[in-house]
């Protein structure tokens, strides 16, 4: 506690320096609310300081989530934080903007009849996948009832073993068997040839992934669609596709518009994406769309009053800020198709550049050079004898502030340990060059390291920076 020489306790005045105030002289409340208020500038400073040693978002190449938006977008979003997206009566124009985003996205995904597409914004792809999964389950149940299946039996969902955890959650929440098609070592995605062996009349749907989180590779949706077209011709128990395009949904339409993965495919009936991945918005926005209204079961559409009329609400969450929706719309009108194309193409070029530099070191086998998602994914070459592992390299990079994870691939490929660099819009060539310098230096340090951390007899343990 601060005391002066004469009277004991001192008081603050308007010119007391921030770090000389009485409040700055004691710890901030942590687990119990403080009795007295704090001055706003001090509260701001103390919390900001507390967050200071967290990673630098721009150097975090582990995440797909956006780490840069233009000043005008940030301004617009902070000015609209108080708008509640669900309150469509109070904020009808925000509701209109959400609908415009849905139309824009349905058009990017080549929906056949724009007017007939139905969709919603969500907090992210996890919520969107949950909705799409429920729609599949409800549709399956209706079919199953009509066809006289045993409804006490557990239905299943078919997906590649490279699925994102939201699908595991969906299956646990809804008591569904998660049937994993093992990822193929050559293409690092679902192998369509074996797909049918996983499908039966209790299959609620197949999920194709446009951008497998582990590797950045795309499932071959055209091939999956063909397999299911043939299957559906032979049976009443039709199986349709949902595409989890969390990362690829707002990337592919700009750099590879000819790739057929979307509503152009006969059996694709719903798609989700994360606006906060390659949609280029800060975290908190996702989208779920159904090709035709009829694919979204009526039970999942709830009506709210909207300016005397009715407005359907589909999302799980009720109140949340509309600012992310507004941020998404800002990007759409600000960037346009050409703006998105340039940004995404540049991002892919940087990924190719990194893959090329990594290849040239002679140390790595490249699994994705950025040709699908702009993600560079690599393992140490097996025939190169080294005393260190990729986990050590991740740690070296972390010392320079780069977060680049190392982890094993999923089931049946778990012996392959890979490292992954997710390129995003704000990773430019200069930064990529700095990263390569740090990486090469890290390799050199490890090659020359006097102390080796791995025991000769035991397997190297998983440690260091993983994801
Ligand atoms: C990121 C991701 C998700 C989850 O998305 P959130 O927007 O983070 O909820 C789901 N599926 C895939 C394939 C992803 O890459």
pLDDT band at 408 (very low <50, low <70, confident <90, very high): very high
CB–CB of 281/323 below 8 Å?
no
For residue 230, give the 3-state DSSP assignment.
helix
156 and 298 together in one domain: yes
**Res 81: pLDDT:** 95
298 and 359 together in one domain: no
Distance from Cα 132 to the centre of ligand 1, integer Å: 13
**Res 386: pLDDT:** 86
**Res 107: pLDDT:** 96
- For the domain that residue 302 is a member of, what is the CATH number? 3.40.640.10
Residue nearest atom 5 in ligand 1 by C-alpha distance:
125
Lowest-pLDDT range of 113-127, 260-274, 275-289: 113-127
Average pLDDT over residues 97-108: 96
64 found inside a domain: no
Distance from Cα 245 to the centre of ligand 1, integer Å: 8
115 and 259 together in one domain: yes
- Residues enclosing ligand 1, CB less than 6 A? 64, 124-126, 129, 164, 166, 209, 211, 213, 244, 246-247, 274, 286
256 and 362 together in one domain: no
171 and 46 together in one domain: no
Average pLDDT over residues 364-373: 95
Q: What are phi and psi of 209, to 5 degrees?
A: -115, 120
275 and 132 together in one domain: yes
50 and 79 together in one domain: no
Residue 353 has pLDDT above 80, yes or no: yes
Q: Quote the mean pLDDT of the chain.
A: 91
Q: To test the ligand 1 pocket, which listed residue (170, 213, 272) has its Cβ within 8 A of the most ligand atoms?
A: 213
Residue 371 vs residue 90, higher pLDDT = 371
Which pair of structure tokens corresponds to residue 448?
């020359």
Residue 110 has pLDDT above 70, yes or no: yes
Lowest-pLDDT range of 99-103, 183-187, 332-336, 355-359: 183-187
**Res 459: pLDDT:** 57
Q: To test the ligand 1 pocket, which listed residue (67, 189, 246, 248) has its Cβ within 8 A of the most ligand atoms?
A: 246
166 and 80 together in one domain: yes
CA distance 441 to 66: 28
CB–CB of 397/417 below 8 Å?
no
Lowest-pLDDT range of 26-35, 213-222, 322-331, 440-449: 26-35
Residue nearest atom 1 in ligand 1 by C-alpha distance:
246
Distance from Cα 27 to the centre of ligand 1, integer Å: 38
464 found inside a domain: no
Residue 456 has pLDDT above 70, yes or no: no
Which pair of structure tokens corresponds to residue 427?
């990773």
Number of structural domains (the chain) is 3
Q: Which domain holds residue 168?
A: 73-331
336 found inside a domain: no
86 and 46 together in one domain: no
Tokens 């595991």 — which residue?
168
pTM over 0.85: yes
What number does the ligand 1 atom closest to the CA of 247 have? 15
199 and 120 together in one domain: yes
């Amino acid at each position: 506690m601060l005391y002066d020489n004469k009277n004991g306790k001192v008081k603050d005045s308007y010119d007391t320096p921030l770090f000389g105030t009485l409040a700055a002289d004691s710890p901030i409340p942590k687990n119990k609310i403080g009795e007295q208020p704090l001055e706003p500038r001090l509260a701001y400073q103390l919390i900001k300081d507390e967050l200071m040693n967290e990673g630098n978002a721009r150097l975090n190449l582990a995440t797909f989530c956006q780490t840069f938006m233009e000043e005008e977008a940030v301004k617009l979003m902070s000015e609209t934080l108080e708008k509640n997206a669900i309150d469509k009566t109070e904020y009808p124009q925000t509701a209109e903007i959400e609908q415009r985003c849905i139309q824009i996205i349905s058009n990017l995904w080549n929906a056949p009849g724009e007017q007939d597409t139905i969709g919603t914004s969500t907090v992210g792809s996890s919520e969107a996948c949950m909705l799409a999964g429920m729609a599949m389950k409800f549709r399956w149940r209706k079919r199953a009832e009509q066809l006289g299946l045993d409804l006490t039996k557990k239905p299943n969902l078919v997906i590649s073993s490279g699925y994102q955890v939201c699908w595991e959650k969906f299956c646990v929440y809804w008591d569904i068997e998660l049937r994993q098609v093992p990822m193929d070592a050559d293409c690092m995605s679902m192998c369509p040839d074996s797909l049918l062996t996983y499908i039966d009349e209790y299959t609620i749907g197949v999920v194709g992934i446009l951008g497998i989180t582990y590797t950045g590779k795309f499932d071959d949706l055209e091939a999956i669609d063909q397999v299911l077209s043939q299957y559906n011709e032979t049976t009443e128990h039709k199986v349709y596709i949902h595409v989890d395009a969390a990362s690829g949904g707002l990337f592919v339409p700009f750099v590879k518009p000819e790739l057929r993965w979307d509503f152009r495919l006969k059996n694709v009936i719903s798609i989700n994406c994360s606006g906060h991945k390659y949609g280029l918005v800060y975290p908190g926005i996702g989208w779920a769309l159904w090709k035709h209204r009829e694919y979204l079961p009526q039970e999942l559409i709830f009506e709210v009053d909207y300016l005397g009329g009715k407005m359907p609400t589909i999302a799980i969450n009720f109140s949340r800020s509309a600012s992310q929706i507004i941020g998404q719309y800002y990007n759409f009108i600000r960037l346009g198709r050409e703006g998105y194309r340039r940004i995404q193409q540049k991002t892919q070029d940087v990924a190719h550049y990194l893959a090329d530099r990594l290849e040239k070191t002679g140390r790595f086998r490249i699994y994705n050079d950025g040709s699908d998602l702009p993600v560079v994914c690599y393992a140490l070459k097996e025939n190169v004898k080294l005393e260190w592992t990729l986990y050590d390299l991740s740690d070296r990079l972390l010392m320079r502030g780069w977060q680049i994870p190392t982890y094993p691939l999923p089931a049946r490929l778990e012996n392959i340990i890979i490292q992954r660099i997710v390129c995003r819009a704000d990773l430019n060539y200069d930064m990529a060059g700095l990263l390569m310098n740090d990486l090469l230096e890290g390799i050199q340090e490890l090659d020359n390291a006097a102390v080796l951390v791995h025991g000769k007899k035991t397997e190297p343990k998983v440690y260091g920076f993983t994801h």
